[in-house]
Amino acid sequence: MPAAQRVTQSKKILQTALDRISSKGYANTSMRDIADEAGVALSQLNYHYKNKEGLFMEAIDMTIQTYMKELEAHVMTGNTPKERWQSFIGYFRKMLLDNPKLFKVLFDFVSMALWSSAYGDKLNSFFRDIATLIEKNILLDNHLKNKIKKYNTNAIAQMLSSALLGASVQFLLNPSEMKLLNALDAIELIYE
C-alpha cells in the first residue's frame, strides 16, 4: 500500500474513532465498531495504531490540537485583555451550542484519564496549556495584574479555565438550561 494511501486510511480511522466516541462514548466504542464504520479490516486498526490505547492516544492528541488551535485563535482576536477574554468565552459558548460533540469527546477523555496515567499526562498538559494561554493573554495586563497582585496569576488562570470547563459540563448535562451559558459571562467580574 502506498504511503499516501496509508496516511489517508490512518486519518479515516482516526476520524471515525472520534466520530464514534462523540456520538456513542468511549465505553460504547469497540475497535470492531470503528473498523466497520471506517470500512477497513480490524487488522488495519492494529497496523496503524498498534492497539486501542494507541488509537485513543492519537484521538486525544488530535482533539487537544484542535482545541488549542481554536482557543489561541479566539484569544488573539481581541485587542485588550477584556476583549480577548470575551472572545475566549464566546468560543466556549459557540462550541457548546454548535458543536457539543467536541466537548463530549474531551470530557470522555477526561474520564478515561482518571484511570490511565498516559491519558492523564496528556490531559494535564492540555489543562496547563489553557491556563498558560489565559495567564499570558488575559491576566498579565497591567491594570488587571495590579488588581490581582496578591494572587498567583497562574492559579487564577487555572481557576478560570476550571470554571469554564465546569460550566460547560453542566450545560452539556442540561442543554435546555440556557442560563448556564450566562454563567460564563459572570467570570468577567475579574474586570470590575
The segment(s) of the chain belonging to CATH 1.10.10.60 are: 1-50
The ranges of the chain annotated as CATH 1.10.357.10 are 59-191
Q: What is the mean pLDDT of each run of 10 residues along the chain (192 residues)?
A: 65 90 87 92 89 87 88 86 85 88 86 89 92 85 64 83 88 85 73 60
Q: Which CATH architecture has domain 1-50?
A: Orthogonal Bundle (1.10)
Q: What is the pTM of this model?
A: 0.82
- Is the domain spanning 59-191 CATH 1.10.357.10? The answer is yes
The three-state DSSP-derived secondary structure of the chain is: CCHHHHHHHHHHHHHHHHHHHHHHCHHHCCHHHHHHHHCCCHHHHHHHHCCHHHHHHHHHHHHHHHHHHHHHHHHCCCCCHHHHHHHHHHHHHHHHHHCHHHHHHHHHHHHHHCCCHHHHHHHHHHHHHHHHHHHHHHHCCHHHHHHCCCCCHHHHHHHHHHHHHHHHHHHHHCCCCCHHHHHHHHHHHHHC
